[in-house]
Homo-oligomer: A and B are copies of this chain.
Amino acid sequence: MLAHNDKFEVLGTDNAPGQEVRRAAGNINGLMRGDKLVGRPVDFSHGDVDAFTPTPGAFERFCEAVEAGGRQAYTEYRGSEDIRGELAKRLAAFTGAPVGAEQGTIITPGTQGALFLAVAALVDHGDKVAIVQPDYFANRKLVQFFGGQILPVRLDYLSGSTDAGLDLAQLRAAFEAGAKVFLFANPNNPTGAVYSAREIEAVAELTRAFDVTIIADQLYSRLLYRGESYTHIRAQDIPEERVVTIMGPSKTESLSGYRLGFAFGSRAVIERMEKLQAIVSLRAAGYNQAVLRTWFSEPAGWIEERIRLHQGIRDDLLDIFHAGGLRTRTPRAGSYLFPTLPPLAVNPQDFVGLLRHQASVIVTPGSEFGPHPDSIRLNFSQDHAATVAAGRRIVDMVERYSK
């Protein structure tokens, strides 16, 4: 009955963030060195919305939408026109380039929904797509699901320069080899690297030269640390139709329970995304859409305080990892850390299992993000004290299992 197994083979979710509940402990006991490390469990696979709570007013906007009734329950497939109008203005201001409210915007079920629709709109069997390694794990899966071919582009994220470390020669080679789409997250997920102005300008130049379309996942671009700068690719000298930008309030704003994303830019791509959304899920949940009214409209100082608190956690974790000998890129934005593990006496997959079983720490294996089995990803949008303690347990575990 179930044909086309390959298509679903690449969609393994067992190691995906949030799916840990489905994993059995297996024979992990036989590998254990020493006793359990006691401490408050921390699930670094995603942010803790109980530690960093949703934007003030989000729930109230939802309640108003329920009160408004049918008008808000049944929006256009691309989402409520007036909400998209508000967001278009705010995102134009944030990114530094105009956003066409009516034709150039779509509200989706999460940024994941936007990514899925954008890739579907642009990638079909045999199409070549340039993908950064490492980068958000679903990027590869999406391209493969639609039969596209991945041309990997290396990110030398540990080089420590002011650049993110994108291998521009490899990107050019991918375009020369026929890649028609470049899909990348900026800030990078899992490393927190932010592409420099120089790098983004170079990407823009290559995009123009090779007539490529860009899908820019900017999910974490608001959570930018003190003193860092961010360059929006859509504000570069590229035809508007060549860029679709994806953002959403699930991370920095902790609104993930509402499943909201937003894509803007290329009208042709957005039009296809809406056509597809009509058969994928019709629309982002109508009442939930109203929560976006709070987005980029938070109380004064709220976002700054959130950034300050995350920076504090980042700095403490970096200190712990560096002291423990774990090479780690300093994230310039976002709430991910991607430390490299030293050579271990157990395989990386088992080490991740041991972290969970023995140290009450859940992390995402680096292999989810490309050929990076010796790394682990942490989303440190968590309770500060619990995170520091869990970071120490990770270092302790690395020492116990080092070769």
- Which residues does A use to contact B, with CB under 8 Å? 1-4, 7-8, 11-13, 16, 18-19, 21-22, 46, 48-50, 53-54, 59, 62-63, 65-66, 69-70, 72-77, 81, 108-110, 112-113, 115-116, 121-122, 124-125, 127, 138, 141-142, 145, 180, 211, 213, 241-242, 256-259, 268-269, 272, 274-276, 278-288
Contact = CB atoms under 8 A, between A and B. Distances in A.
A66 to B, nearest CB: 6
A257 B180 CA distance: 37
Given A3-B180, A259-B282, 7 more contacts: A18-B77, A108-B281, A109-B259, A138-B278, A138-B279, A141-B278, A145-B279
B257 A112 contact: no
A66 B70 contact: no
A21 B81 contact: yes
B76 A18 contact: yes
Contacts of A141: 278-279
A77 B286 CA distance: 21
Contact of A22 (B76, B112, B213, B279): B76
Given A121-B2, A281-B116, A284-B259, A8 B275 contact: yes
B279 A281 contact: no
Nearest to A274: B13
A115 B280 CA distance: 8
A293 to B, nearest CB: 16
A79 to B, nearest CB: 12
Given A50-B69, A124-B3, A258 B287 contact: yes
Query: What copy number does this chain have within its complex?
Result: 2
Contact of A1 (B180, B279, B281): B180
Contacts of A258: 285, 287
A41 B262 CA distance: 32
Contact of A8 (B22, B69, B276, B286): B276
Contact of A272 (B2, B18, B269, B283): B2
A301 B138 CA distance: 46
Given A141-B279, A281-B109, A285-B288, A257 B49 contact: no
A115 B116 CA distance: 17
A209 to B, nearest CB: 14
Nearest to A254: B73
Contacts of A11: 272, 275-276, 278-279
Contacts of A280: 112-113, 116, 280-281
Contacts of A8: 121, 272, 275-276
A13 to B, nearest CB: 5
Q: Among A81, A241, A257, A258, which residue has the most Cβ atoms of chain B within 10 A?
A: A257
A77 B12 CA distance: 12
Contacts of A22: 76
Contacts of A70: 48-50
Contact of A13 (B16, B72, B142, B275): B275
